[in-house]
Amino acid sequence: MRRRGDGDVYEVVPFDDGKYVAISYSWPGKDWVRLYDSNLGTQIARGSGATPVECNHFSSFTRKAFEDAVQVTEIKQVWLDYMCIDQNNNAEKEVQVALMDRFYSNAFLTVILLEDVELSNADLELLQGSLTMLRNRSSEYVQIVRRILNARWFGRAWCSQEWVLSRSPAIYVHRTDDPYGKPMSFSWASLKHWINRAGIYDPQINDVGLTDPRGANTWGANAKYDFQQSIAWAFGIVHDLGCFNQYDKVALVSNLVHVDMSSRIVDLPAVPPPKTDPRVVAANVIKIINILAILRGDFSLLLTSHVANNPLRVSKGFTWGGPSIRGDAVAQAWSPRTYEVHASTASLSTDGLRLKGIAMEICEQTDYEFVRDAQGLHARINGVVQNLVTSGWLSKEYPAASDPSNWLSAESPGTRLLHANQAFFRDLCYIIDTFNLVNVYQLIFNHAHDQWWYDPRDGDLKTQMGSHFTHYSLTIMFYASMISFLWEGKVGKFSVVRMANGSELLVRGNVSDLRGKLLFQPYVIRPKELGPHHPTVNSFVLDKPLNVPQQSQLRTYRCHGAVRGFGLLPAEGEEIHAHID
């Protein structure tokens, strides 16, 4: 669209391949309130010389925000989905929705509109003020940041896509001091800085899950249309966000990872099915995205099937599938370079999923559980309460994970989370020492820095762990984050299983009784070798085969769930070709 002459009328015109500004906003509706001139429409004509009509999507506030951007960028073309896509043409909408990633990726600037937020000049002054000002008015500061993050825009799945794909987003809100005048604007970098500051005083403020836009990368200024990530990464962005039609999340994930039109899953419900249980719809979306991933040769969601609340675990034919785990670096970092991915190791058909990998029977299982409270560190082994665990001997102590009040000296939400993970890691080391779990220590640190490998000639394990905590802080940070899947709230849980060949693995997942079952590590999620970047491995927990064909190696297995853990099954274990039921 372009401005017609010098007035306030805009018109829809053919794209001339030049630079343009894209608008990201939450569509108006009865379920939320827009402020001030966001409720005033702009006159828009569909073509040169056409009679203009009022458009509430391109509000007076939107127009002013765009015109403010024009003053900086000198770009006079604007793209707005409601006007630039024919809303009465379903075929066009289907095609254009699939191209939405290109509209925002190629935009010179994305204008983000928070039409239900207003800030005063004094609010902005406090946000931009010194640390001294922040300390003196911390409650007010947090309240202002919360007001921004409570905008409807941050809770919408479509908006999250637009944010992530943008190379250069600018955020606009209403100005309390002049509500019908020039909007207030600030950059993404400023907002992130304010969130980090506010997080010092409100640890929960980091839970907004604000994914960096592509322009935040070091190459962002020259970002091209080859921005690629795993489907686990894309699904983690949109999974928990609001969407009028949950099936739209399939298109959103496809856009984020740039799935070609010919490979898209289409013919999904255009509107939410009436009287359908939302949980059923949500499970269907997870199934479809798992299928999309595997058809694309992306097995990243198989690395999330171990979570306790996996809705597909009891879904026949999809017990292998996984939901999203926000921020899970293991699944997000999945790449075919790290695993054996080719036609012979995995295939999907109407009969189900077929995988090749290494399997071995689990013979023994020992369960460990530990938690810290005001009295100290408590532990259970196979459900039996143990004596209070001796602690406090590590030279570097971190704030207790269960005591957020101790986090107030941290510099950022990321630092607080790191301290929480390190506190949990510290307690795990105390458990390892108390119960002499040398095997657990070796499994976790098998591929760490050479100095972390336990050598009895260098003294007892306790002495060596104390030395490691003193000298290898970066390694501690990495492993503290890596073992966070063993942490459920304030409680640490894991199992040590002994395999048929006598080897041991450390695991945690959604199957409580592992004894007598097969642990199966498919090649597509079994790292070619464990290392600092791929320290864990996910495995399926299977019954023994339901059928034993005479002429084929393919066997059908019932899947009970999955686990994540440390340690690879030996390559000399049984190689199986499994049809997962």
Average of per-residue pLDDT across 412-421: 57
Tokens found for residue 127 = 């946000």
Non-local (6+) Cβ contacts of 325 within 8 A are: 232, 236, 304, 307, 331
| DSSP labels, 310-340 | -GGGGSTT-TT-----TT-HHHHT--TTTS-
Average of per-residue pLDDT across 288-303: 95
Average of per-residue pLDDT across 30-46: 93
Tokens found for residue 432 = 């390892």
Q: What is the pLDDT of residue 571?
A: 83
Q: What is the pLDDT of residue 395?
A: 60
How many angstroms separate the CA atoms of 133 and 127, rounded? Answer: 9
Average of per-residue pLDDT across 127-153: 92
Percent of the chain beyond pLDDT 70? 85
Average of per-residue pLDDT across 354-362: 95
The larger pLDDT score, comparing residue 469 to residue 160, is at 160
Residue in the block written with tokens 């029977």: 361
How many angstroms separate the CA atoms of 110 and 162, rounded? Answer: 8
At 355, is the secondary structure helix, strand, or coil?
strand
Q: What is the mean pLDDT of the chain?
A: 85
pLDDT-derived band at 316, boundaries 50, 70, 90 = confident
Q: Where are the alpha helices (DSSP H) in 107-187?
A: 121-127, 131-136, 138-149, 157-165
Tokens found for residue 71 = 């003053």
Residue 44 has pLDDT above 60, yes or no: yes
Q: Residues 451-476: pLDDT tens digits?
A: 555 565 566 788 877 776 766 565 66
Residue 71 has pLDDT above 50, yes or no: yes
Cα torsion angle, 224, 228, 233, 238, sign = positive
Q: How many residues does the structure list for the chain?
A: 581
Backbone angles phi, psi at 349, to 5 degrees: -145, -175
How many angstroms separate the CA atoms of 546 and 560, rounded? Answer: 13
Q: Residues 269-285: pLDDT tens digits?
A: 877 777 888 889 999 99
pLDDT-derived band at 522, boundaries 50, 70, 90 = very high
Range in 336-350, 386-400, 548-562 with the lowest mean pLDDT: 386-400
How many angstroms separate the CA atoms of 432 and 440, rounded? Answer: 7
Give, in order, the Cα–Cα distances in Å from 164 to each of 85, 147, 150, 464, 475. Answer: 21, 21, 18, 44, 30
CA atoms in the 13 A half-sphere facing the CB of 378 = 11
Residue 304 has pLDDT above 50, yes or no: yes
How many angstroms separate the CA atoms of 461 and 438, rounded? Answer: 8
Q: What is the pLDDT of residue 173?
A: 98
Q: What is the pLDDT of residue 396?
A: 56
How many angstroms separate the CA atoms of 218 and 439, rounded? Answer: 41
Q: Residues 471-488: pLDDT tens digits?
A: 656 566 667 777 889 988
Q: What is the pLDDT of residue 343?
A: 77
List the Cα angle 576/330/319 in 5-degree steps: 45
Query: Residue 53 is which amino acid?
Result: V
pTM for this model (two decimals): 0.84
Average of per-residue pLDDT across 29-45: 92
Average of per-residue pLDDT across 27-45: 92
Percent of the chain beyond pLDDT 90? 46
| DSSP labels, 501-526 | TS-EEEEEES-S--TTSEEEEEGGGS
List the Cα angle 185/190/191 in 5-degree steps: 85
Residue in the block written with tokens 């060949």: 501
Non-local (6+) Cβ contacts of 574 within 8 A are: 358, 359, 360
Residue 401 has pLDDT above 80, yes or no: no
Q: What is the pLDDT of residue 532?
A: 66
Q: What is the pLDDT of residue 263?
A: 83
